[in-house]
Amino acid sequence: METKFVTRLLLTATLAGGLLLAIGAPAGAAPDNRSACDSRLQGARSRLDADIRSHGDHSKQADRDRARLEQARQWCKDHHSDWDHDKYDR
């Protein structure tokens, strides 16, 4: 009788643990947006550098690219991704 009780208890505990793992894992897992963030920032920075070389530091093209770089930074913030601040915040 006692063996039957222990077996049921172990089976119930195992099933409950598995259920908690199955439900809790996807909810706690956050997507990794670091590569998307780096890609956005790198593209925006490249366009800015190219337009500064072509049109000058205070051109309308460079100003537009600065706004796009800021939008890329905001996207990273909104998606809880960090970036290389020394590279993209100058």
Read out DSSP for 10-72?
A: HHHHHHHHHHHHHHHHHHHPPP--HHHHHHHHHHHHHHHHHHHHHH-TTSHHHHHHHHHHHHH
pLDDT band at 22 (very low <50, low <70, confident <90, very high): low
Q: Among residues of the chain, what percentage have pLDDT more than 90?
A: 43
Residues 48/65, Cβ–Cβ less than 8 Å = yes
Q: Among residues of the chain, what percentage have pLDDT more than 70?
A: 81
pTM for this one?
Answer: 0.62
Instruction: Give the pLDDT confidence score for residue 30 in this predicted structure.
Output: 55
Residues 37/85, Cβ–Cβ less than 8 Å = no
Instruction: Give the pLDDT confidence score for residue 42 in this predicted structure.
Output: 94
Higher-pLDDT residue of 16, 67: 67
